[in-house]
């Protein structure tokens, strides 16, 4: 319109038509589809550069409308050309060649025309146009670099997010597999000991006050099958028995598990109006077992122990059923026995333990033995585990769990734990006196679920350490997985111990469905792989996969991993190959009094020197 107003009607109309055609062509090019590949994109970009140069060429004709920037409209055209060029750079930030291709023709022709027109003012203005052009080119290139960098970061972030998503999915799958492995027996697919205990405990909690029945089955003659036909045949028998039990008990809504070895366990509701029903069911199963095993050529019987209770916990019911099973096996093959008064008399032994426990502590008759945990690389002592030993005057050596159970029943749990901590502190002072490698060795002691539930373990332990003048870092507390996840109070206690400097260790790791969840709490600094996964490790690919997963998980979380129950060189070699750094087991040393452990360590140092 300015050109027409200036009398250049033909030139103005012609320039407008050319500009319109150039813009339409560029618009069509932008809407045109192209091959989604590197070469396709490159070709499209070249087309857009050519179109930009063509459009810029139209704007290079502006001097034609103002007599080479010498007419009265020169200022207007200069402002328009410079403005349109600045706009091209502002909007064409993704690919610098396009805006540069557009601005080059008009700005260079402007500079040339001003120079040709002559005069100081126009020459200076031409120089400023060149400077302006240089600045726009630099801005376009910087914008492209910024866009490229942003796109690269975005693509990297997208790729990383995709990889993290895949890793998360893989971890979820691994977690589910580990959960199944941890709560189920790998051979039979039934619940394992931990899985069964938790499932039965949940059933008791869902129906409090109702009587329940627990069956403990033991195969008679299974050892003969293993000896005669090999362990593979024995494994097939166990699998057949597992499937047979599930079929036979399908209508009872029973919880079925493998307790260990050739023992199976069943938990179900009990109808008290039919007192003989458990025995009748057991006899029926005993009678049908030979037929179920006929196809495999195995000839076995089965003994059954039965415990019925309304208020006992699962562990106590197992203990009762085990007593009954022992009596059934003593009577011969294919027998069942229900816990009765006679068997309950056997439990009177526990009362003897409870009665004598306090005197035993006063006489220092309860002792601690120690089993070394060694570095699998150097075979040097890394730490010691304290194990409770009590030789009862009448009943001989008492299992630690019975002693702890008796202490809880007599209100001596706190006194017993304090006694144990004091013994450990005394042992640590002895190790300091020995010196050498043993001077810095920590000692681990086990805290049972019962103790954790009933006692203020954090205050008791930390208070005892302070009184004895022992650094908290020299003590480790071993707990089971269910303690780590039990209650907020238990977790608070463990947090307090960890904050005080005590190392928290998860014992028997891998036998509960909660294994992975137990590692979420930052206070866990060491896990001990359950011995059931280490036994026969060289011949079990499944156990190798699981142990390797635990070792790698520990490494990722900066948690020490200890393999329990190492008994053979083969197991040691496999663990070394898998990257496990710490181990414990009879292959190195059995539990022994502290002086014997010190002597053993000295012999070990001499042998490896």
The fourth-level CATH superfamily of domain 193-346 is: Reverse transcriptase/Diguanylate cyclase domain (3.30.70.270)
pLDDT digits (tens, 9 = 90+) for 288-305: 888 777 666 667 889 999
Counting every residue written for the chain, the total comes to: 609
CATH for 349-602, among 3.90.1150.10, 1.20.1250.20, 3.20.20.450, 3.30.1330.10?
3.20.20.450
Query: 479: burial class by Cβ within 10 Å (0-12, 13-18, 19+)?
Result: buried
State the Cα–Cα distance between residues 596 and 609, nearest whole angstrom. Answer: 20
| pLDDT (0 to 100) of residue 199 | 92
Q: Is the pLDDT of residue 275 over 60?
A: no
| pLDDT (0 to 100) of residue 560 | 94
- Residue range 223-234: mean pLDDT, rounded: 79
Q: How confident is the model at residue 513 (pLDDT cuts 50, 70, 90)?
A: very low
- Residue range 578-603: mean pLDDT, rounded: 94
Which of 71-80, 146-155, 216-225 is predicted least confidently? Answer: 71-80
The residues with which 371 forms a beta bridge, in sequence order, are 385
Q: Which spans in 36-73 are helix H? A: 38-59, 62-65
Helices 314-330 and 193-206, axial angle in degrees (round to 10): 120
Q: Is the pLDDT of residue 431 over 90?
A: yes
Calculate the CA 411 to chain-centre distance.
38
Q: Which has more confidence, 58 or 361?
A: 361
| pLDDT (0 to 100) of residue 149 | 80
| pLDDT (0 to 100) of residue 8 | 67
- Residue range 515-524: mean pLDDT, rounded: 68
Closest CA to 567 of 527, 529, 534: 534
Q: Is the pLDDT of residue 210 over 90?
A: no
Average pLDDT over the chain, rounded to whole? 84
**Residues of the chain with pLDDT > 70: what percent?**
88
State the Cα–Cα distance between residues 427 and 444, nearest whole angstrom. Answer: 11
Q: Is the pLDDT of residue 229 over 90?
A: no
pLDDT digits (tens, 9 = 90+) for 441-497: 999 999 987 788 788 999 999 999 999 999 999 999 998 866 655 567 778 888 899
Closest CA to 129 of 63, 72, 49: 63
pLDDT digits (tens, 9 = 90+) for 22-43: 777 777 766 667 666 777 667 7
Q: Which has more confidence, 359 or 112?
A: 359
Q: Tell me which H or E stretch contains 125.
A: helix 120-183
pLDDT digits (tens, 9 = 90+) for 61-82: 777 777 667 676 777 777 777 7
């Amino acid at each position: 319109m300015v050109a027409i107003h200036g009398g250049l009607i033909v030139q103005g109309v012609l320039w407008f038509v050319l500009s319109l055609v150039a813009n339409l062509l560029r618009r069509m090019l932008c809407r045109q589809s192209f091959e989604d590949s590197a070469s396709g994109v490159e070709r499209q970009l070249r087309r857009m550069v050519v179109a930009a140069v063509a459009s810029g060429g139209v704007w290079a004709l502006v001097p034609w409308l103002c007599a080479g920037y010498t007419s009265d409209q020169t200022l207007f055209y200069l402002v328009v050309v410079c403005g349109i060029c600045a706009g091209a750079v502002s909007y064409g930030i993704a690919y610098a060649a396009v805006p540069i291709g557009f601005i080059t023709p008009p700005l260079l022709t402007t500079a040339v025309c001003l120079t040709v027109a002559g005069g100081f003012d126009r020459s200076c203005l031409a120089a400023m146009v060149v400077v302006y052009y240089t600045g726009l080119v630099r801005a376009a290139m910087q914008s492209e670099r910024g866009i490229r960098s942003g796109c690269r970061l975005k693509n990297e972030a997208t790729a990383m997010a995709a990889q993290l998503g895949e890793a998360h999915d893989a971890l979820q799958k691994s977690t589910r597999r580990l959960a199944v492995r941890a709560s189920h027996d790998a051979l039979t697919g039934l619940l394992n000991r931990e899985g069964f205990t938790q499932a039965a405990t949940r059933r008791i909690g869902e129906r409090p006050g109702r009587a329940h029945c627990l069956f403990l089955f033991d195969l008679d003659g299974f050892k003969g099958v293993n000896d005669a036909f090999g362990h593979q045949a024995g494994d097939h028998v166990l699998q057949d028995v597992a499937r047979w039990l599930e079929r036979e008990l399908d209508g009872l809504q029973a919880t079925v598990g493998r307790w260990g070895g050739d023992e199976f366990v069943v938990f179900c509701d009990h109808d008290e109006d039919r007192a003989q029903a458990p025995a009748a069911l057991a006899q029926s199963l005993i009678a049908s077992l030979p037929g179920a095993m006929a196809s495999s050529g195995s000839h076995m019987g089965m003994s059954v122990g039965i415990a019925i209770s309304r208020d006992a916990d699962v562990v106590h019911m197992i203990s009762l059923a085990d007593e009954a099973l022992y009596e059934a096996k003593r009577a011969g093959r294919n027998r069942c026995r229900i816990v009765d008064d006679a068997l309950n008399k056997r439990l009177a032994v526990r009362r003897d333990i409870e009665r004598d426990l306090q005197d035993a502590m006063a006489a220092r008759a309860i002792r601690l033995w120690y089993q070394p945990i060694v570095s699998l690389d150097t075979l040097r002592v890394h730490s010691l585990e304290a194990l409770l030993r009590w030789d009862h005057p009448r009943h001989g050596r008492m299992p630690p769990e019975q002693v702890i159970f008796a202490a809880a029943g007599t209100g001596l749990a706190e006194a017993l734990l304090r006694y144990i901590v004091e013994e450990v502190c005394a042992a640590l002072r002895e190790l300091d006196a020995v010196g050498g490698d043993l001077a810095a060795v920590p000692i681990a002691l086990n805290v049972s679920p019962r103790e954790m539930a009933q006692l203020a373990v954090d205050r008791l332990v930390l208070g005892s350490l302070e009184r004895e003048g022992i650094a908290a870092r020299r003590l480790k507390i071993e707990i089971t997985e269910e303690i780590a996840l039990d209650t907020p109070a238990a977790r608070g206690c463990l947090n307090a111990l960890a904050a005080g400097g005590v190392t928290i260790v998860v014992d028997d790791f891998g036998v509960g469905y909660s294994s992975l969840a137990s590692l979420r709490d930052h206070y866990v600094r060491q896990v001990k792989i359950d011995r059931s996964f280490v036994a026969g490790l060289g011949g079990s690919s499944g156990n190798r996969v699981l142990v390797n997963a635990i070792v790698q998980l520990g490494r990722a979380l900066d948690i020490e991993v200890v393999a329990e129950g190492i008994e053979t060189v083969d197991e040691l070699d496999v663990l070394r190959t898998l990257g496990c750094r710490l181990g414990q087991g009879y292959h190195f040393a059995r539990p022994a009094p502290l002086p014997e452990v010190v002597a053993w360590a000295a012999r070990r140092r001499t042998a490896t020197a």
